[in-house]
Amino acid sequence: MASASGDDYDDDDAAASSKRQRFTETPTPPPSDPHAPPSPTLPFELIAEILQWVPTKRLLQLQCTCKSWQSLISDPQFAKKHLRLPPKPARLILTFASPTTREFVIRSYPLHNVFDAAPVGPTELRYPSNRRKRFDLIVGSCDGILCFAVNQSLVLLWNPCIRKFKTLPPLNNQHREGSYTIFGFGYDSFSACYKVVAVFSYECDADANGYKSEVKVLTLGTESWRVVPDFPSVVPLDESGKFVSGSVNWLAYKSSPSSVIVSLDLQKECFEEVLQPDYGDVAVLDLTLGVLRHRLCVIAHGYDLLDVWLMQDYGNRESWTKLFSFPFLETPDSFPWVKALSLSEDDQLLLEFGSKLVVYNTRDGTFDTPQIQDINDCLASEVYIESLISPCS
């Protein structure tokens, strides 16, 4: 286990101070009148129930109240209960290169402020790596844990809120011609475990597609990768897997030019194809896979428009619903990378559009640029929540 420090957090406010005064296990000194009853105190079980509703950052401050609170708040079981109640505020994390030092910079922003027109100030995060000029790729996030691909064989899990991280054992795949590795990260609710999936693909003339893939899974808490057989005969795209409904999903190519969605069920550890929407007469030139509102999302690139589809009932092709269409911000011939990041309650869509972040208002069809300060050469973005879940457990 290792831990990193240096994240910036809000100063203690009056509310946090008030909580320390109200929730105390030590009775106040008896009054001067010896016959007066002692001041009432809350049972510790009730205190634990109340604390489940306190925001994550406040809980980290309240750990200093007493030893029993520190033990409670750092308990993995309490962290799991706290994760479920109530909904946690989401944050946007951006990684980019410093324009002066070219170092790997990570900043975090309240997601609800990103949708607003007002300027959004950053929180600088201290990434747990000594190699500051290396750019690690964000694979994804799950329950407050961010997954980074350090290289083609090494993965790092990090919860920036509690400043804890874990570097997983290396894959140790044999180097092959034209090989590459893509990762996925998610939660198996059946075994109550987090899992990292690695798809190692390499050139193979014996395969019909010219590529062969091997899949391995590591369950958090273990120290070894396990082989998952029977990966379909497809060529996975160089894109991280998307976690939704207990499965990790990738886009891949068959022998024909069309692409497919391949899914790995994290409980059964078996593969299947997720059927795509019926695009009708639209000539789909490219696809982008994502997750919006905890549902699988597809952005279909046409000649003039991009269509956003949402799978309301995972695995049911008939549940695909086209939410809306929007035009290219640039010349369609360039086909910039488009990634759906978040859909607000008032139907504003946050997109990573090429090297830009944009907000598309689905109600009036307008685009806005988030007023995020000091953004240069954005490399990758991800949405995550604040939680007490430790990647070290």
pLDDT 10s digits, 70-94: 999 999 999 999 999 888 889 999 9
| Residue 388 pLDDT exceeds 80 | yes
239 and 357 share one domain? yes
225 and 293 share one domain? yes
3-state SS assignment for residue 191: coil
In-domain check, residue 355? yes
72 and 107 share one domain? no
CATH code at position 94: 2.120.10.30
Give the pLDDT mean for 182-189.
97
192 and 64 share one domain? no
Give the pLDDT mean for 106-118.
88
In-domain check, residue 188? yes
pTM for the full predicted model: 0.85
Helical (H) or strand (E) element with 212: strand 211-219
Give the pLDDT mean for 325-341.
75
Quote the domain boundaries for residue 228.
Answer: 90-385
70 and 105 share one domain? no
In-domain check, residue 3? no
284 and 362 share one domain? yes
Smallest CA-to-CA distance from 156 within 179, 180, 134, 138 is with 138
| Residue 19 pLDDT exceeds 50 | no
In-domain check, residue 391? no
The tally of domains found in the chain comes to 2
In-domain check, residue 310? yes
Is residue 157 within 8 A of residue 166, CB to CB? The reply is yes
Helical (H) or strand (E) element with 327: strand 320-327
102 and 78 share one domain? no
If you average pLDDT over every residue of the chain, what do you get?
85
4/61: higher pLDDT: 61
67, 84, 101: which is the final residue of a domain?
84
109 and 182 share one domain? yes
314 and 349 share one domain? yes
163 and 79 share one domain? no
Is residue 388 within 8 A of residue 59, CB to CB? The reply is yes
201 and 310 share one domain? yes
Q: How many residues does the chain have?
A: 393
In-domain check, residue 283? yes
39, 63, 84: which is the final residue of a domain?
84
In-domain check, residue 392? no
pLDDT band at 2; cut points 50, 70, 90: very low
**Poorest-pLDDT segment among 114-128, 220-234, 238-252, 331-345:** 331-345
131/391: higher pLDDT: 391
28, 51, 84: which is the final residue of a domain?
84
209/23: higher pLDDT: 209
Give the pLDDT mean for 318-327.
94
DSSP secondary structure letters along 236-272: E-SS--EEETTEEEEEEE-SSS-EEEEEEETTTTEEE
| Residue 146 structure tokens | 């961010």
pLDDT 10s digits, 214-251: 999 999 999 999 999 999 888 888 789 999 999 999 99
| Residue 150 pLDDT exceeds 80 | yes
158 and 38 share one domain? no
| Residue 12 pLDDT exceeds 50 | no
Which residue type does 322 have?
A: K
In angstroms, the CA 181 to CA 185 distance is 14
Token match 């205190």: residue? 47
83/286: higher pLDDT: 83
Of 37-51, 84-98, 293-307, the range with the highest mean pLDDT is 293-307
